Amino acid sequence: MRFRNTIFGILSFLIAGLLLHIFRETSWAIFAERFLEEVAHSLHIERAAMIATLSQILIGGGLLWAVVYFAFRVGKMERPTRPDPILEAARTHAEAIRAQTEALKARNPPAEAEAPKRIALDPTWTRDTTLLQALWRAYSGNWNGRQELNDPEGDDAGRLYVAGNEIRQHAFEGILPIWARKRTENLWEVVPPVFWSNHEIEVSYSIASSGDDIWVKVTRPLVVGEVPHARTMAWTDFMTSRAAIEKLWPATTTAEPDKRSPAPSFPTWIELERRFRELEGPLQDSWVHCQTGAAGEHWRLAGPVTQDARDRFNAVARMASSKLFREFPDEIAPHKELSLETDPEIRWYKALQYIGGRYEHRNVVTQLNDDGSDNGDIFTGMINSPATASATLCHTIVSYEAS
């Protein structure tokens, strides 16, 4: 574009000079031509007339081109325009908001960020017990380890959940020291209290699993890489201090009842629904498979399911089925297959079938004897998305409670 402008300027310069030469019969043009000829003769330049003509073209063209260019630039000069009243009003409004914001900041200066809490470790506290042992100690008042709950779907489980929440709260407040190892390191470190702002102990896993590990999960993601309700990938092998646990949860004896306030009945249907919702991701590609008929009755959670997710789902299913049978016998009575079931997990599967209406009939095949004779029919069926179906059934049961 600049090259084109240069060519245009040169051509216009020469054309302007030629036009001026065409109209050279003016008095000032004749004077200029004679003056240039005299200069050429005095310098002994041959062909003085031709040199004078060319000089006239160059000088006249330059002058004329300069005049035209000046007029063009003056014409393009920005002329004052009337301000747009809408834009002016918007600008005034923005300035008023900015001034008001500054005034509010000056009146209420932001508080300085609170420094992260640091744990003042007692010299006698050492890393000498696992967090799982501490959980059961806070629950039972003794160091006998994991216990079989008398009521794994009711108040006993509720007390264990309360213990898990108390451990999390004390760790967040910096009262209870908890050590762990980063997954890529072998060194033990004190877990920062802020870690517990979006992490908690998955108590249902400790109820269902007989392993010696503890499930610490993400409640809500705060950093890249955290997944809601998934086991934390930041820390592993959680441990704490026996002395700290005994100080925060004094030992109880059988002769003296627990002085602490009784734990509320747990879990509620809303809580059960929430825990089933947490399993929607891990169980999104799974289903409950059922087989009845000549080969017997068989129920199982099928599909790509991890053992952790399976244990957690079955633990919540047992709690839900026991609560359903205890609180709503009238809803169960019309369904004979459901009311006669004794296995707590299969009870919940059948509740999804008869009360939730999520059962889908699939294939019917004939079982044959070795000699090829008919030995009866086998019926298969399935319940898709068992976590979602369970959460929906819990939500439906809430309406039963309300009525």
Angstrom distance (rounded) from CA 71 to CA 125:
91
Task: Verify cis geometry, omega within 30 degrees of 0, for the bond prior to 267.
Answer: yes
The answer to whether 273 touches 395, Cβ cutoff 8 Å, is: yes
Residue 387 corresponds to which tokens in the numbers above? Answer: 């976590």
Pair 229, 283: CB distance under 8 Å: no
pLDDT in tens, the chain (403 residues): 444 556 655 666 566 556 555 555 555 556 656 666 666 666 665 555 565 566 656 666 666 667 666 666 655 544 556 667 777 777 777 777 777 667 666 655 544 444 444 445 677 788 889 999 999 899 888 888 887 776 656 677 788 888 999 999 999 988 899 999 988 888 889 999 999 999 999 888 888 777 778 889 998 888 777 888 888 888 999 999 999 999 888 876 443 444 444 444 457 888 889 999 999 999 988 999 998 888 888 898 988 888 888 888 988 888 888 888 888 888 888 888 888 888 888 889 999 999 988 899 888 888 888 788 888 888 899 999 999 999 999 988 887 766 6
Tokens for 363, please give them. Answer: 């294939």
C-alpha 171/C-alpha 168 separation (Å) is 5
User: Cβ neighbours of residue 41 under 8 Å, at least 6 residues apart?
Assistant: 48
Distance CA 86, CA 329 (A): 70
Q: Residue 1 CB: number of other CB atoms within 10 A?
A: 4
What is the three-class DSSP state of 178?
strand
What span, in angstroms and rounded, lies between the C-alpha atoms of 354 and 389? 12
Q: H/E/C letters for each residue in 23-72?
A: CCCCHHHHHHHHHHHHHHHHCCCCCHHHHHHHHHHHHHHHHHHHHHHHHH
- Can you read off the two tokens belonging to residue 154? 């009711």
Q: Is residue 361 within 8 Å of 289, Cβ to Cβ?
A: no
Nearest to 218 by CA among 208, 233, 203: 233
Helix (H, G, I), strand (E, B) or coil at 18: helix
- Predicted TM-score (pTM) of this structure: 0.40
In whole angstroms, give the CA distance from residue 101 to residue 94: 11
